[in-house]
Amino acid sequence: MSQEQGQMVHSGDEERADPQRVALAPRRGRYGNALLLAGSLIVSLLVIELGFRVAFGLPVLSLEDWRRERVVYNRLGERGELDPVVGWTLKPNHHGDGHNTLDYGIRRNGNETAIRTGEILAVGDSFTEGWEVDDDDSWPAYLELMSGTPVVNAGVGGYGTDQIVLRTEQLLPIVQPKTLIVGFLHFDIYRTAHTHFGAPKPWFTVENGELRYHPPAPVEPPQAPNLATRLLDGLRDALSRSAAADYLIARLAPNYWYGSGGKREYIKANNDPVQVTCLLLERLKTKLDERKIRSILFMQYYAPVILQNEQPPADALQVEACASRLGFEIVDQFASLKALTRNNPTALRELYMVYGETYTHMNGEGNEAAADLLLKTLRQ
CATH number at residue 293: 3.40.50.1110
pLDDT at 262: 46
Question: Cα 158 to chain center, whole Å?
Answer: 9
At 11, is the pLDDT very low, low, confident or very high (cuts 50, 70, 90)? very low
pLDDT at 7: 47
> Out of 21-35, 41-55, 338-352, which region has the weakest mean confidence (pLDDT)?
21-35
The torsion defined by the Cα of 254, 258, 260 and 263, in degrees rounded to 10, comes to -80
pLDDT at 67: 59
Pair 184, 207: CB distance under 8 Å: no
Q: Is 183 domain-assigned? A: yes
Residues in the chain: 380
At 332, is the pLDDT very low, low, confident or very high (cuts 50, 70, 90)? very high
pLDDT at 35: 74
Q: Is 248 domain-assigned? A: no
| 180 and 279 share one domain | yes
| 117 and 19 share one domain | no
pLDDT of 329 > 90? The answer is yes
Q: Is 105 domain-assigned? A: yes
More confident residue, 36 or 313: 313
| 104 and 39 share one domain | no
DSSP letter for 79, please.
T
**Residue 196 DSSP SS3:** strand
Using one digit for the tens of pLDDT, what is the confidence trace for 263-281?
A: 557 889 999 999 999 999 9
Distance in angstroms between the alpha carbons of the first and the last residue of the chain = 125
Q: Is 278 domain-assigned? A: yes
The torsion defined by the Cα of 4, 8, 13 and 15, in degrees rounded to 10, comes to 140
| 186 and 284 share one domain | yes
Q: Is 243 domain-assigned? A: no
pLDDT at 4: 47
Q: Is 92 left (phi over 0), alpha (psi -120 to 50) or beta?
A: beta
pLDDT at 61: 72
Instruction: Please state, in angstroms and rounded to a whole number, the distance separating the CA atoms of residues 89 and 104.
Output: 8
Q: Mean of the pLDDT values across residues 357-376?
A: 97
pTM to 2 decimal places: 0.76
Nearest CA to 181 among 138, 222, 132, 220?
138
More confident residue, 248 or 130: 130
Q: Is 340 domain-assigned? A: yes
| 133 and 280 share one domain | yes
At 29, is the pLDDT very low, low, confident or very high (cuts 50, 70, 90)? low
How many other β-carbons are positioned within 10 Å of the β-carbon of residue 76?
A: 22
Rounded (10°) angle between helices 314-326 and 273-291 = 30
Q: Is 74 domain-assigned? A: no
Q: Mean of the pLDDT values across residues 346-358?
A: 96
C-alpha neighbours within 13 Å on the C-beta side of residue 85 = 8
Which distant-in-sequence residues (6+ apart) come within 8 Å of 82 by Cβ? 72, 76, 88, 216, 219
pLDDT of 130 > 80? The answer is yes
Nearest CA to 196 among 263, 119, 124?
263
**What value does the mean pLDDT of the chain take?**
85
Q: Is 24 left (phi over 0), alpha (psi -120 to 50) or beta?
A: alpha
Domain count of the chain? 2
pLDDT of 309 > 80? The answer is yes
Q: Is 46 domain-assigned? A: yes
pLDDT at 174: 98
| 292 and 172 share one domain | yes
pLDDT of 13 > 80? The answer is no
pLDDT at 226: 67
| 317 and 374 share one domain | yes
Query: Residue 304 belongs to what domain range?
Result: 93-193+272-378
> Out of 43-57, 102-116, 200-214, 228-242, which region has the weakest mean confidence (pLDDT)?
228-242
